[in-house]
Amino acid sequence: MPVFARRPARRARQFDSLEQEAFLNVWRTYDRLRIEEDRLFERFDLSPQQYNALRILRAAHPRSLATLNLAEKLVSRAPDITRLLDKLARRGLIERERPETNRRTVEIRIGDAGLKLLEELAEPVRECHARQLGHLSRKQLAQLIALLREARGPHEEAGGSWG
């Protein structure tokens, strides 16, 4: 055994491949950043995913979105979209309607209360994201975004709103 092997590079022991290291870094970073996010939204009895649904509905406002159409715009996959919307509807944040033209679908629209809540959240959310990533330069952020997009590129369905 060569002498210089007595101090194996920390990374060489820790990861099996550069790709693994990259994935675990994505996972770890998500896990750390999520803490801020969770802390913010639990003060408003929202999950991050619920907030995102509201954010997407606001972008569509005053138009509505069909349930599954909304689901595929969400950041994270949501098989239980129905129950997620149930909770928002129970709080009066969204409105649901089964249109006569196609009674299979359920159209979702953000309501006034929902818009008001988002307005209330605007500043805290901005602050939260500043705490999360405010220490990076604009250039670093842009670079990170570009690299992440390339990283997940092959894993996005064509035509999705997240391509």
**Binds 136: which of DNA, its own copies, none (CB < 5-8 Å by kind):** its own copies
Residue partners of 136: CB distance under 8 A and separation at least 6: 144
Minimum separation from the CB atom of position 101 to its own copies (A): 27
**Binds 61: which of its own copies, DNA, none (CB < 5-8 Å by kind):** none
Q: How far is CA 111 from CA 33, 54, 68, 96, 133, in A?
A: 30, 10, 19, 10, 31
Task: Tell me whether residue 78 or residue 121 sits nearer to DNA (CB atom).
Answer: 78
Out of 38, 112, 127, 156, the residue judged to bind DNA by CB under 7 A: 38
Task: Tell me whether residue 84 or residue 110 sits nearer to DNA (CB atom).
Answer: 84
User: φ, ψ for residue 64 (rounded to 5)?
Assistant: -115, 170
- Other beta carbons within 10 angstroms of residue 41's beta carbon come to 19
- Other beta carbons within 10 angstroms of residue 25's beta carbon come to 11
Q: Cβ(133)–Cβ(141) under 8 Å? A: yes
Degrees to nearest 5, angle at CA 12 with 7 and 18: 160
Minimum separation from the CB atom of position 88 to DNA (A): 11
Task: Tell me whether residue 68 or residue 122 sits nearer to its own copies (CB atom).
Answer: 122
Residues 50 to 69 in contact with DNA, rule: CB under 7 A: 66-69
Out of 53, 78, 94, 118, the residue judged to bind DNA by CB under 7 A: 78
Q: Which residues are at the interface with DNA (CB under 7 A)?
A: 38, 47, 49, 66-69, 76-85, 87, 100-107
